Amino acid sequence: MKAPADLGAAEGLARIREGSLTAVAWTAACLDRIATEEPRIRAFAALDPEGALGRARAVDRGTVPPGRLAGLPIAVKDIIDVEGQPTGFGSDLPIGAVAARDAGIVALLRAAGAIPLGKTETVEFAALGRIPPTRNPRDPGRTPGGSSSGSAAAVAAGMVPLALGTQTGGSLVRPAAFTGVHALKPSHGLVSLDGVHPHAPSLDCVGWHARSVDDLALLAEVCGFPPAAARPARRLRIAACRSPAWSAAAPDMRAAFEAALGTLRQAGVEIVDLDLPPDFDTLGETQLVLMRAEAQVSFAPWRRRWGAHMHPDLAAILTEEARIPPARRAAAQAHAALCRIAFAEIMAGVDAVLAPAAIGEAPPFGTGTGSPAMNRMWTVLQVPIVALPIGRGAAGLPLGGQLVGPLYGDRDLLAIAGRVATILGAPAEAADGTA
């Protein structure tokens, strides 16, 4: 039988319902794991053990309204407000403050019975600047990716079964790929951004890391995502997209991707090659233009107040010289809209698209958080993405894929991802090797 800290969200909640586990025992086990692993991994910016245990005791006593997530320990990225806990934005600037109320998504999960244990490390403002000290639990000499560094690492290390993160470029999917866990980047606009520091509002999404597709789907249901469409039982049809960034993929990533396609074919999945229209070739650049233009608005108050003290990498994109001209921003918006329409037409002929989630294994710690080349295009399309492990690289570290679905088809995509994960036989493992 698994130790409580190694339980996935659905597993632990089932044990609580059947009476073989208490919320206090689960929460305490996660806090013990954090105490053991945090000196090595450094996933957390702040912790609230007393508050978490107090809420767990209330769950066990039944003094809080029962909910679907009653007793579930979670972690929250440090750009998302949690009442009574500090929001520091991953910054060394003296701007942090204890949140007076929960962000919208945290309030929703808390109302369902979830227990926030603490705030996870992030790249500064989930953008540019300070890189967090978080290490990859699979190999502490490697980065866990970013910007949702601590969230992915906490799940991978068995510190929590589920953690909230955000994505504006590739900040959920790439860390999932590097740490060997699962992630959902929802359709844009399905999760409230209230209480979440903005980066680029037309791209920003709150999502989550977990150890299984089932756990990803659990939160999608609690959040009230549109139900999956009724579909007749039939053979899956998945489009294999090597993406315009395929040339940047490492040989082991290419080999793992092709091997995954072969495994799916052998299981009866119909695989069709997807050659995207030429307009998609520069869609990654379009994402960057929109992200930079909107960041210049989102971070303007910080620049006015802290200009000379800001991290040079962040300050550099906020200068007048770096300002995106209105005509270029408008052209990028038009390009993105065109490609969103084209992608909806592509999705009418397939159940999902499978693409690499990163160019390879996690790079060495201290060299950044990895390339977002495989992520930008999909994020700007505003569609749902499920990240899942597809193999291991030359150094034995996880390699990830991403399943992409149609806009607002999140729960359909999760159902497909569950089937794909079962076929590939790639459940996320704790860093100690336990499934």
If one compares 88 and 308, the residue with the highest pLDDT of the two is 88
Q: Are 212 and 162 in contact (CB under 8 A)?
A: no
Q: Give the distance from CA 241 to its chain's centroid.
A: 21
**Single-letter amino acid, residue 253:** M
**Quick one: pLDDT at residue 426?**
55
State the pLDDT confidence band at 428, using cuts at 50, 70 and 90: very low
Each residue's pLDDT tens digit, 30-89: 999 999 999 999 999 999 999 999 999 999 999 988 899 999 999 999 999 999 999 999
Predicted confidence (pLDDT) at residue 317 exceeds the cutoff of 90: no
Predicted confidence (pLDDT) at residue 309 exceeds the cutoff of 60: yes
Classified as helix, coil or strand, 382 is coil
State the pLDDT confidence band at 172, using cuts at 50, 70 and 90: very high
Q: Are 395 and 361 in contact (CB under 8 A)?
A: yes
Per-residue burial over 292-321, b = 16 or more CB atoms within 10 Å of its CB, e = otherwise = bbbbbebbeebbeebeeebbeebbebbeee
Given the residues 77, 151, 243, 298, select the one marked as catalytic.
77
Each residue's pLDDT tens digit, 127-156: 999 999 999 999 999 999 999 999 999 999
**Quick one: pLDDT at residue 306?**
83
Report the pLDDT averaged over residues 307-323: 86
Each residue's pLDDT tens digit, 410-427: 999 999 999 999 999 854
Q: Are 80 and 69 in contact (CB under 8 A)?
A: no
pTM for this one?
Answer: 0.95
**Quick one: pLDDT at residue 247?**
94
Whether 171 is catalytic? yes
Classified as helix, coil or strand, 418 is helix
Whether 243 is catalytic? no
Whether 148 is catalytic? no
Report the pLDDT averaged over residues 331-337: 98
State the pLDDT confidence band at 229, using cuts at 50, 70 and 90: confident
Given the residues 148, 149, 151, 171, select the one marked as catalytic.
171
Outline where DSSP puts E strands in 78-178: 86-87, 97-98, 115-120, 162-167
Outline where DSSP puts E strands in 211-351: 237-240, 270-273
Predicted confidence (pLDDT) at residue 287 exceeds the cutoff of 70: yes
Report the pLDDT averaged over residues 206-219: 97
Given the residues 91, 119, 147, 148, select the one marked as catalytic.
147
Domains of the chain (ranges; CATH) run: 4-223 (3.90.1300.10), 237-424 (3.90.1300.10)
Q: Are 434 and 6 in contact (CB under 8 A)?
A: yes
Q: Are 348 and 235 in contact (CB under 8 A)?
A: no
Mean pLDDT rounded to a whole number for the chain = 94
Distance, in Å, from the CA atom of 80 to the CA atom of 74, rounded to the nearest integer, reads: 13
State the pLDDT confidence band at 296, using cuts at 50, 70 and 90: very high
Q: Are 291 and 200 in contact (CB under 8 A)?
A: yes
